């Protein structure tokens, strides 16, 4: 679908010769002399790199339609992860490497939204926080109550997180998926 710079909206994805880009910001500029133009900040959907680019006003380009599909993570199959489409029950094998850091937060049975461009997965929408169990950490020492002190803990997905000294193996913790930081103990 061909669009013009006048159709730009934040969050829209466009297909340029350099790759797929999501519009983070744009500004129409009409200088006193010369033709109008549109200054944009674009994020490469595949690599995450941010670039500044200027387009002539009215310039045409292809809009990339990103399909968001709700999936359930079924299991880890070596270098691939297996998902099931919630609507069609179709199974999809995805290379771990193509999902960035998302595998660090996926536990069997969890839901995730995969962003797809044709048959290619170009991103994931994770919840802001997930609950993961601690599988390995040093035991906290009695009387070791230094305020703000932290230790490493390995979660069930293999993610390593800095946690307070009182956290023990088997505890379930809420982890921020944007930063990878410990938030709190999870009840239940």
pTM for this model (two decimals)? 0.69
Instruction: Indicate the class that CATH gives domain 2-63.
Output: mainly beta
Phi-psi region of 19 (alpha: psi -120 to 50; beta: other; left: phi over 0): left
Instruction: Indicate the class that CATH gives domain 67-125.
Output: mainly beta
Q: What is the pLDDT of residues 146-163, one digit of tens each?
A: 666 788 899 998 899 998
Q: What is the pLDDT of residues 177-186, one digit of tens each?
A: 888 899 888 8
Same fold, 2-63 and 129-185: no
C-beta of residue 63 within 8 angstroms of C-beta of residue 1: yes
Q: How many residues does the chain have?
A: 188
CA 34 to chain centre: 40
Instruction: Indicate the domain borders of the chain.
Output: 2-63, 67-125, 129-185
Instruction: Indicate the class that CATH gives domain 129-185.
Output: mainly beta
């Amino acid at each position: 679908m061909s669009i013009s710079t006048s159709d730009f909206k934040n969050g829209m994805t466009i297909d340029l010769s350099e790759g797929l880009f999501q519009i983070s910001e744009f500004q129409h500029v009409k200088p006193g002399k010369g033709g109008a133009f549109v200054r944009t900040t674009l994020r490469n959907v595949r690599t995450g790199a941010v670039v500044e680019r200027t387009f002539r006003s009215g310039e045409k380009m292809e809009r990339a339609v990103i399909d968001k599909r709700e999936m359930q993570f079924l299991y880890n199959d070596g270098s691939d992860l297996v998902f099931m489409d919630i609507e069609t029950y179709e199974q999809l094998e995805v290379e771990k490497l193509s999902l960035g850091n998302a595998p660090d937060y996926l536990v069997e049975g969890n839901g995730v939204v995969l962003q797809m461009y044709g048959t290619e997965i170009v991103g994931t929408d994770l919840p802001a926080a997930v609950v993961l169990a601690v599988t390995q950490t040093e035991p906290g020492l009695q009387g070791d109550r230094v305020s703000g002190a932290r230790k490493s803990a390995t979660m069930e997905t293999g993610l390593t997180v800095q946690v307070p000294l009182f956290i023990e193996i088997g505890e379930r913790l809420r982890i921020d998926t944007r930063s990878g930081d410990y938030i709190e103990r999870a009840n239940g």
